[in-house]
Amino acid sequence: QVQLVESGGGLVQAGGSLRLSCVASGGTFSSYAMGWFRQAPGKEREFVAVISWSGIWTYYADSVKGRFTISRDNAKNTVYLQMNSLKSEDTAVYYCAAARGSSYPASKSNEYDYWGQGTQVTVSS
């Protein structure tokens, strides 16, 4: 059974940083794009960032471009989201997701096959 487990969420002040991690298990992920989405209360789930598992390409939502960085460590089957210069509007539950055989830019929810349970990120102002 494929499992994605996020960690690293928490409470941070505006302007601060957090790093989220997502560990993938239960399958082979060499052909998977790994993405991050987020959902704030009362809002639709939105795309944040994605990286091909091999790291050939990345893509970011305009709202986070220049502040967030996605990366991966294949030896650990882990994808990261480094979040800098956090704003109150970044507050949301962040979800890790895997898209099998997807191609650039892989920015839509329906392209993803597996999802993690989410981790809460709260940015205070």
Q: What is the mean pLDDT of residues 50-71?
A: 95
In terms of Cα–Cα distance, which of 45, 70, 73 is closest to 59? 70
In terms of Cα–Cα distance, which of 21, 27, 28 is closest to 5? 21
Q: What is the pLDDT of residue 117?
A: 97
Q: What is the mean pLDDT of residues 33-53?
A: 96
Q: What is the pLDDT of residue 7?
A: 97
Q: What is the mean pLDDT of residues 5-11?
A: 98
* pLDDT over 90 (residue 120): yes
Percent of residues, the chain, with pLDDT higher than 90: 82
Q: What is the mean pLDDT of residues 39-46?
A: 96
Q: What is the mean pLDDT of residues 64-85?
A: 95
